[in-house]
Structure 1
């Protein structure tokens, strides 16, 4: 475990050193993050207001006489709210991830060169290297794979959170249940809480493989399921450190949104701008970390394979 923690800090330190190696990396990251930044301001305004409305749907209305009708929030979902969910889904699937893909390609390409010790290039040369020589088809296919898998994982986590909130949180604070159902609902509260933790741990483990597979597709000739399998093979000995890395960025994103939601940032533009700015910085840093993590894992795995091959050759010669 200490070795994994040491590797965690080694990856973070290596990632934080990359912006200091080249001012062009900072400029390129800033320029490619601007479209994502402006779009996220618009997206987060809709997202935050939809979250507020969702909490109102999950909570029973004041003076509600029937204690069980509110347990089915779909009965109180309006058509306008459903259309907002559809709009959010479309914005999330297409423009948001296309802009993130564009930012990711530039970040990973430049970070990999700087981490390997290559001499920084001029901005014009960097743009030519990325957009004229880069194979965008392979990483895009892998990115679609990862997006679909990630959505499934997030929907599972969201479903568990909603069930835990309805069964546990509202029960404790509103005293909506009779004493006869106490043990029944305590059991399901513990069940959904434990299930959420278990699924979150697996989601973080999978996120490491998913993100490094995209990095692998950008840097190597591989895509789709093949990139996912190779990424899983390279990261076998560093699952704990990778899980810690993904946990940091997962908590970072959730904390920003919850803080902004609690502060009512959807009603004040300055709060949303600050949240989106921090989110974009974290997004760039996440892909730099994934690049450093992948290259460290690849180097260690190849060294291990070379050592095993050398040992076998030695045994054969003897």
Structure 2
């Protein structure tokens, strides 16, 4: 029964995509269209909101702890770096003791941050992603809010085995003018490429959840669907990147981690909301890219049939 239900869901999605192709040929959903459609699907089913709030609680509580730890560590590093920079300009020398102190003081915190980010955070986020993408795709396919809390609790979620690799890069340097002039454009170029690759990576996770395909094959399918849509994917990821950055910077500036815990709670709550909307948007982006790919395939096959008839 599980296999037949999954096949029926995919058939409904394929049928909807084909109907969209006939109704709106050669039309792409722009980034603003996707961002407008994501909250519509999110708020279409009130039970969906309640269920996601319940599922996101572990991630929410972990993020409150993680953000306090992260912001306190970052602030301490910046303050220590600034004090050592002042000492350098005053005495024109940086002793090995100062450098050793800076490294030993924060190395343990950085290792902890790396572990918390790579393991608990991504595992908790993955659980939320699987549920969000699967249920949002059902609401999108059925085009009406019919899923109840009982169905969400007892209906099997067809997640996928997802393999991931992460790369963490940390570097400290003096922010001098030559440094900014040289590394600034390089950083921007790398950031843009990172956001473009993030779109491919996130769509591969959506494919793993919805299509049951994982690993290299999911990445290859994602790259295929994203071909010709790199700009849309980059802009879509940039929106949520700026969203997370804008939430974090005010808390760092006002030092919410020092006692104003409600500031951190508000930041994490808005981050979790944006995270859910991001994955719903990635689901819509995947279906639109798939629709465009199917449309091109139909056009190519129709052209071949015309050539055969002419011959």
Task: Tell whether the 8 Å contact from 1:18 to 1:115 is kept in structure 2 after alignment.
Answer: yes
> Could you say which structure has the higher helix fraction?
1
Rate the CA distance shift 1:33–1:73 in 2: closer, same or farther, 3 A.
farther
Q: What residue is the counterpart of 1:182 in the other structure?
A: none
Q: What residue is the counterpart of 1:265 in the other structure?
A: 256
Task: Tell whether the 8 Å contact from 1:4 to 1:241 is kept in structure 2 after alignment.
Answer: no
Q: What residue is the counterpart of 1:176 in the other structure?
A: none
Q: What residue is the counterpart of 1:94 in the other structure?
A: 119
Deviation for aligned residue 1:38: 0.7
TM-score (norm. length: structure 2) = 0.83
The 5-angstrom pairing of residues 18-33 of structure 1 reads 18-33=41-56
Deviation for aligned residue 1:310: 1.7
| Matches of 1:114 and 1:70, distance apart in 2 | 62
1:6-41 Cα deviation digits (max 9, x unpaired): 611111111121023211211121111111111111
Deviation for aligned residue 1:113: 1.5
Q: What residue is the counterpart of 1:299 in the other structure?
A: 291
Partner residue of 1:109 out of 123, 134, 138: 134
**What runs of 5+ residues in structure 2 fail to find an aligned partner?**
1-25
Task: Tell whether the 8 Å contact from 1:47 to 1:88 is kept in structure 2 after alignment.
Answer: yes
Q: Does 1:121 align with 2:147?
A: yes
The 5-angstrom pairing of residues 226-265 of structure 1 reads 226-265=217-256
Which stretch shifts more, 61-70 or 47-56? 61-70
| Matches of 2:193 and 2:96, distance apart in 1 | 29
Matched residues, number: 281
Rate the CA distance shift 1:4–1:235 in 2: closer, same or farther, 3 A.
farther
Task: Tell whether the 8 Å contact from 2:139 to 2:147 is kept in structure 1 after alignment.
Answer: no
TM-score (norm. length: structure 1) = 0.81
Q: Does 1:35 align with 2:26?
A: no
Q: What residue is the counterpart of 1:84 in the other structure?
A: 109
Rate the CA distance shift 1:105–1:308 in 2: closer, same or farther, 3 A.
same
Question: How large is the RMSD of aligned CA atoms in angstroms?
Answer: 2.4
The 5-angstrom pairing of residues 194-209 of structure 1 reads 194-209=185-200
| Matches of 1:99 and 1:21, distance apart in 2 | 25
Task: Tell whether the 8 Å contact from 1:5 to 1:241 is kept in structure 2 after alignment.
Answer: no
| Matches of 1:127 and 1:80, distance apart in 2 | 46
Partner residue of 1:136 out of 139, 155, 160: 160
Deviation for aligned residue 1:211: 0.4
